[in-house]
Amino acid sequence: MLIEMRGIERVYHLGRSDDVHALCGISFGVERGEWVAIVGQSGSGKSTLMNIIGCLDTPTGGHYLLNGRDVAQLSDDDLSDIRNREIGFIFQTFQLLARESALSNVELPLVYRGIRARERRERARAALSEVGLADRMRHLPTELSGGQRQRVAVARALVSQPSLLLADEPTGNLDSGTGEEIMKLFEQLHAKGHTLCLVTHEPRLAARCPRAIRLHDGRIVADGPGREVAFAQLPGSAA
Amino acid sequence: MSLRVDLIEGSRIAVLSLGVNRLRTLLTTLGIGIGVATLLCILGIVQGLNASFATQLSSLGSSTLWISKFPWVITGDDWWLYRNRKDFTLDDVQAIRDQSRFAAAVAPELGRGGSVSYGDRGLSHVHVTGTTGDYLTVSGFELQTGRAITDADSEYRKNVVVIGADVAESLFPHSDPIGAILRVRDLPFEVVGTLVRKGKFLGESQDTTVIIPFRTFLAAFGKRRGFEIGVAIENPDQLNQAEDELMSIMRRSRGTPADEPNDFEINRSEQLAKTYNQLTAALYGVALGVGGITLLVGGFGIMNIMLVSVRERTREIGVRRALGARRRTVIVQFLLEAMAVAAVGGSIGTLVGLAGAKLVASITPLAATVEFSTVLFGVGFSSLVGLLFGIWPAARAAALDPVESLRWE
């Protein structure tokens, strides 16, 4: 099992008495090669869960095993290394470095892994070709369209051959046509055997994933095939 | 990731960001630049002074003691006290010649300014020295041609003169001066010798000089003039013993009562060196103080701009952290950037400082040399300032929470 969550809690201490329970006892597992959507409305805790899955944040309770390793107790440096090797992030706002070319942006994770310049360049080129941007490598992000920027971001996530691609509302800043292209790209990546985790508030997108986990108020309320979970009624909510 | 990779990647980013905010970088570095320029300019001048002073001092004759009514370095307002002391006499000179075991040569030295002319050529502000034989040994001058002034010249009040290099060049550009009759303060003197060029002392030429016999000087320019006595010591290691000996000879010769302090001074070039060193130490102190304060101000400028930079690039920091940059990587990146900004300022300041020192050297008699180590110091020290003042902004950058930074608008 790639991801194993056991009773994950995340409490934010805002004041002396105002503790916010963003996640309350989350437990689930993700196998290698799965494509899972984490769906929920804003405030459901899905962003917090994504940060924990991506090792940007650590849970305040429970166990999170990534590749069999409990990451809850790891040091900051170890978490950095895990993010570098195991996780490929794809953000809603692309998060490309504006001053660097597409190629340099894609190279960045390999820089932090200490890989030599020549190999870095080759692998970054290959990743950009894989997302169909072989002819845009020298362009700055500002010289690319939204869809192309997100492709650069996907290439950056792929380049370090991570265990998990973690996409946070990847189509949120794109028009529906370009968003569709990105979803197609994910389908291709899934077909190639990549493990994907898509965090979204759109049931429409979650429905296209083989599996979806629905969060509500920091708890998992549904876990099953995407089509069923995406449009399921919340227990206790009005029709 | 290794520190080496951190350094390489950090340098690349630092250079990149310098290029992006050129104007801002330049303005920020102004403070550091001015500090370094001030430091280098003053240090350059002091170093130049040191170098020339050392050689000039040796031209005074390091093993000569100068007995005078006045100390070379007068502090406070004791001038009248010294002035009212009894003048020396030739008997004092003779006493030293007869009694001193350490003296190799003894000569009195009278001096005043005046103009010198030959035909229609003239030279003003010439130092006229009245003395006896042995003066060359005492003063460190060397004969170029002809002969020196002798005791006999003085005894018979001959109107003969030995001329310095400047005088020879000005008055006799195309002819041999020996045997020529020139006028010193309108009195005729026959040139019997010329001196080898000695160079400048504290910016003043020592070669605009003429030497005439002692008694001739007294007869021509007035009897009631005080003079100094130069005593060349045979063995420079025995200066202290020689000083003690001269003190007792002079006290006896002048009849100084046993219960009274010396009514004369024994000077040596070492004292000048000491005073000089005190002076330059003060200059150094001022330079370091001024430069240090400016660098401090410049350092705060850098800290300020680095804090702005960290704020502006919060999202970039978040992205880098998400992609696997460790805290150390972020620290190194921003430290290098701060150092780069400071080094740019340091380099500009170094150039300006060098130019300033050269300018001072060319328009004033002060010498200025800038040693390579000073340049290294300028650039290195400013980088160090950048490093120190970059620590806090860099630490803040590294302490940012990746999740928060990624959300930063």
Residue A161, domain member (yes or no): yes
Touching A: B residues 15-74, CB under 8 Å:
16-17, 20
pTM for the whole thing? 0.71
Q: Confirm or reject contact between B207 and chain A (CB < 8 A).
A: no
Instruction: State percent of chain A over pLDDT 70.
Output: 97
Higher pLDDT, B201 or A19: A19
| B322: nearest CB among A89, A114, A160 | A89
Contact A208, A226 (CB under 8 A): yes
Whether the CB of A138 is below 8 Å from some CB of chain B: the reply is no
**Has residue A139 been placed in a domain?**
yes
Region A135-160: what's the mean pLDDT?
94
- The CA R_g of chain B, rounded to the nearest whole Å, is 32
Q: For residue A210, tell me if it sits in a domain.
A: yes
Q: How confident is the model at residue B403 (pLDDT cuts 50, 70, 90)?
A: very high
Structural domain range at position A211: 3-230
Task: State whether residue A59 sits within 8 Å of chain B by CB.
Answer: no
Token pair belonging to B279: 């002076």
Give tens-digit pLDDT for B33-92.
888 888 888 777 777 777 777 777 766 666 888 898 888 877 777 777 888 888 888 889
Residue B178 per-residue DSSP state: T
- As given in the structure block, the two tokens for residue B15 are 């250079």
Q: Which two tokens stand for residue B112?
A: 């005043």
- Say what the ipTM of the complex is: 0.93
CA–CA min distance B326, chain A (Å): 6
Q: Rounded distance, CA B141 to CA B118, Å? A: 23
Please check whether residue A93 lies inside any domain of the structure: yes
For the ranges A171-175, A199-203, B200-204, B358-362, the lowest mean pLDDT is seen at B200-204
Residue A235 has pLDDT above 60, yes or no: no
Domain edges within chain B: 3-56+274-407, 86-263
Q: Spell out which residues of chain A touch residue B2, defining contact as CB-CB under 8 Å.
A: 114
Given B9, B20, B323, which is nearest A83 (Cβ)?
B323
Rounded Cα distance between B362 and B358, Å, is: 6
What are phi and psi for residue A110, nearest 5 degrees? -75, -30
Q: Which of A139-148, B17-26, B247-256, B327-336 has the lowest mean pLDDT?
A: B17-26
Out of A89-103, B124-138, B199-213, pick the least confident. B199-213
DSSP type of residue B277: H
For a pLDDT cut of 90, what percent of chain B falls above it?
34
DSSP state of A141: G
Q: Is B1 part of the contact surface with chain A (CB cutoff 8 Å)?
A: yes
> Quick check: B399 contacting A, CB < 8 Å?
no
* pLDDT recorded at residue A53: 95
Considering only residues B368 and B388, tell me which one the structure prediction assigns the higher pLDDT.
Answer: B388
Q: Which CATH number characterizes residue A94's domain?
A: 3.40.50.300
Among A37-51, B144-158, B266-280, the range scoring the smallest mean pLDDT is B266-280
pLDDT tens per residue, range B165-202: 999 999 998 889 999 999 998 899 999 999 998 877 76
Confidence at residue B51, expressed as pLDDT on a 0 to 100 scale = 72
Give the pLDDT mean for A44-50. 92
The answer to whether residues B275 and B315 touch, using CB atoms and an 8 Å cutoff, is no
Is residue A173 less than 8 Å (CB to CB) from chain B? no
Q: Does A80 touch chain B (CB under 8 A)?
A: yes
Please tell me the number of Cα atoms within 13 Å of B47 on its side-chain side. Answer: 17
Q: CB distance A76–B329 less than 8 Å?
A: no
Closest CA to B63 of B164, B142, B148, B137: B137
Q: How far apart are CA B311 and CA B300, in angstroms?
A: 17
Q: State the nearest Cα–Cα gap between B5 and chain A, in angstroms.
A: 6
